[in-house]
Structure 1
Amino acid sequence: MKIPAEFDEIRPYSPEELPQIFEELLSDKDFQEIIKKVLPDTPLEALAYTLRKCKTNLDVQKSIFYGLLHDIIKKCSDGFSFDSSNISDKNKSYTFISNHRDIVLDSGFLSVGLIDNGFPTTVEIAIGDNLLIYPWIKKLVRVNKAFIVQRALSMRQMLESSARMSKYIHFAVTQKQENIWIAQREGRAKDSNDRTQDSVLKMLAMGGNGDVIDSLKELNIVPLSLSYEYDPCDFLKAQEMQMKRDVEGFKKSQKDDLINMQTGIFGYKGKIHFQTGPCINDELETLRGLPKTEIFTRVSEIIDHHIHRNYRLYPANYIACDMLDGSMSMTEHYTAEDKAKFEAYLEKKISLIDIQNKDIAFLKKCILTMYANPAINHIQAIKE
């Protein structure tokens, strides 16, 4: 398939480009070091042999990343489940919009779930260029079906970049017959109060045909709820919140991003469940004729409602609610043993935070809020 040249800077590599990129990666010293750590039992020659046999990006995912991700599920969690029963036609292409918990694994586990549930392909992934710290990372993610979201731009450049990305997403869904994964907001919600940013929807609507409703319907948007029992990065997020509170203009460094990626991948996650909502095309149709700004607000609300409704809650979510407001209103959802286990978990996570003027009460409140918000939003969504 001929892909328009305007997408060259941001799109995943095409199958024709893969052989050269494989050789560049295999000869990169930094990449070789990472492979020794991540695949200690796999000689570089064996990896090279497997890669060179891959003809498409999907081949690479199935031959290498699929096994790696199942390995992470086995070693770092108590199991992963994926329910796609709300999707009636697996052969259509969809744009999955989800809450965002883990920099790498949200889209990785979604791809595993799609393969294991009989979908013909995985997802192309929106990834911020702030995470592409080394040349080998940029190459590897584009091999792994990622397209690049350009971040640090002027206002004019940002508009141009958003328009191009939107056109690419529409091209990928309608012409390449690919699924897309994009987070509902820029970056992870540090407090797990998951809300879709109108700006994400405005970007998605820029590149399609017809009016806003037609353009969004073209993408077959499916809200996706990601529920991790434990967030390995919870203490890092709390630490960042205190730093932002105490240090004017605090910004995470590239090293911080790498630590977050590593901690998220290899930290303990407990149980993991991903749940798709239905494709929202019928709901979009009911908004036709509304003013444009109101459409985006209403679409955000529709997506949020599905995401909140479809969370899978764990004892920790209910315990955090009760600990935050000093009540016992959620005790039917957990045991005394669950509570003791979560309190021990909380203490352990607080102990990992190593910063000056450590404000334990504030940090504890931050982590409790992260676990409580999904329960608060879920209960609200069920009532509506």
Structure 2
Amino acid sequence: MKITEFDDIRPYHDEELPAIFEELIADPAFQAAACSSMPGMPFEAIAAEMRTCKTKLDFQKKFCYGILWKIAHDHTDGLTLDHSALTDKKRAYTYISNHRDIILDSGFLSILLLDESLDTVEIAIGDNLLIYPWIKKLVRINKSFIVQRALSMRQMLESSARMSRYMHYSIKEKKQSVWIAQREGRAKDANDRTQDSVLKMLAIGGEGSLIERLKEMHITPLSISYEYDPCDYLKAQEFQLKRDIEDYKKTTADDLLNMKTGLFGYKGRVHFQATECINEELSLLSSDMPKPELFASVSAIIDKKIHANYRIYPCNYVAHDLLNANHEFASHYTSAEKEHFESYLDQQLNRIEISGKDVAFLRDKLLLMYANPLTNYLTACQ
């Protein structure tokens, strides 16, 4: 019997693809987006290629793989993955990672896994980003499942329970790995912390004790390290706007600008480091612990693994020293690297155009974004 309770949040079934492809092909907005992402290829040729895809993985290999590697080649200085800590590569895992880029965190992970002859991941994506009907269809073709936002408290509980059941079903029954960010939205200051609410959601589904339900998900912390964050100036700007404007909220246009900047901005080196599954650590926790204490303990386990597995770049050391007005880490960078980073900071600050621009405040926020990964790394490695 086919499970239907997940129908409006799950990725499409492969047999649904032909009809969805035709809907997209007939959509002028999708036509424009497809042609801009594949310049030089007539839309008729794109449509013909889409119709040859029999599975979601076919579509990812034929379209997403090439587009994402082109972004990596054009806008990074190298994209790498180390998942040697995972001894059983065929097992389905729940990759929980820090969150740097709205699209590329999960996108880069999938193409890196494909290059290791492994399956891509299913992706948790908030419906606040699905601003056009064609985007919602496209992400569900790309193995995304929908996280519903802006609900009442009762609706949120129901939605979380259903998503949890879906993720358990995906891991346990479909043997399909999934990716989810450790928190809702990106950490604007790069001080990455797992939200207990994410773990509470994961523990709703499954069977047995809370610990047994979490173990069923084969949680694997994943550290993502971007040398440069192309959205750093937008995040700094948002800090000032939130400081200066009561009830400030980002607009849809802001979200689109963040997505575009994240995709096509310079990122330097990008590294993904998978750590071992945390089931052994979960087994050491007492089932008698109060729930808040248990979730806080699991969050701390995940955070320590993510922090300890960051790849630290010269700019992180420079930022830490500049922020603290000292030379504590001077041995970790050259004068040329320091000069380059300071020039980069000035360039990003110049991109901020808001009234009452507080340069000293904005500069400190930018420095904090690059210093925090090092601060957390040092604490985790002690």
1:35 is displaced (CA, Å) by 1.6
1:9 is displaced (CA, Å) by 1.0
1:322 is displaced (CA, Å) by 0.4
Query: What residue number does 1:167 align with?
Result: 165
Query: What residue number does 1:38 align with?
Result: 37
Alignment partners' CA distance in 1, 2:356 and 2:97: 35
Q: Secondary structure at the match of 2:267?
A: coil
Query: What residue number does 1:318 align with?
Result: 317
Q: Secondary structure at the match of 2:39?
A: coil
For residues 151-198 of structure 1, give each alpha carbon's deviation from its aligned partner in whole angstroms, at most 9, with x where no partner exists: 100000000000000000000111111110000000000000000000
1:102 and 2:98 matched: no
Query: What residue number does 1:128 align with?
Result: 126
Query: What residue number does 1:89 align with?
Result: 88
For residues 127-154 of structure 1, give each alpha carbon's deviation from its aligned partner in whole angstroms, at most 9, with x where no partner exists: 0010000001111001100000011000
Q: How does 1:147-162 map to 2 (within 5 A)?
A: 147-162=145-160
1:9 and 2:8 matched: yes
For residues 58-92 of structure 1, give each alpha carbon's deviation from its aligned partner in whole angstroms, at most 9, with x where no partner exists: 11111110111111110001010100000001111
Q: Secondary structure at the match of 1:86?
A: coil
Unaligned runs of 5+ in 1: none
Query: What residue number does 2:135 align with?
Result: 137
Alignment partners' CA distance in 1, 2:214 and 2:151: 25
1:118 is displaced (CA, Å) by 2.6
Query: What residue number does 1:207 align with?
Result: 205
More off after superposition, 109-118 vs 184-193:
109-118
Alignment partners' CA distance in 2, 1:268 and 1:141: 24
TM-score computed with the length of structure 1 as normaliser: 0.98
1:294 and 2:293 matched: yes
Query: Aligned letter for 1:227?
Result: S
For residues 196-235 of structure 1, give each alpha carbon's deviation from its aligned partner in whole angstroms, at most 9, with x where no partner exists: 0000000000011111011011110000000000000000
Query: Aligned letter for 2:142?
Result: N
Q: Secondary structure at the match of 2:5?
A: helix
1:3 is displaced (CA, Å) by 4.3
Query: What residue number does 2:331 align with?
Result: 332
Alignment partners' CA distance in 1, 2:54 and 2:36: 26
Divergent runs of 4+, >6 A: none
1:371 is displaced (CA, Å) by 0.4
Q: Secondary structure at the match of 2:225?
A: strand
Query: What residue number does 2:239 align with?
Result: 241
Q: Secondary structure at the match of 1:6?
A: coil
Alignment partners' CA distance in 2, 1:283 and 1:49: 50
For residues 19-73 of structure 1, give each alpha carbon's deviation from its aligned partner in whole angstroms, at most 9, with x where no partner exists: 1111111111111111221111211122112211111111111111011111111
Query: Aligned letter for 1:136?
Result: W
Q: How does 1:153-302 map to 2 (within 5 A)?
A: 153-289=151-287, 290-302=289-301
Q: Secondary structure at the match of 1:5?
A: coil
Cα 1:66/1:327, change in 2 over 3 Å: same
Cα 1:104/1:3, change in 2 over 3 Å: farther
Alignment partners' CA distance in 1, 2:193 and 2:33: 35
Q: Secondary structure at the match of 2:124?
A: strand
Considering only aligned residues, what root-mean-square deviation do their CA atoms show, in Å? 0.8
Q: Secondary structure at the match of 1:117?
A: coil
TM-score computed with the length of structure 2 as normaliser: 0.99
Query: Aligned letter for 2:205?
Result: G
Alignment partners' CA distance in 2, 1:3 and 1:357: 57
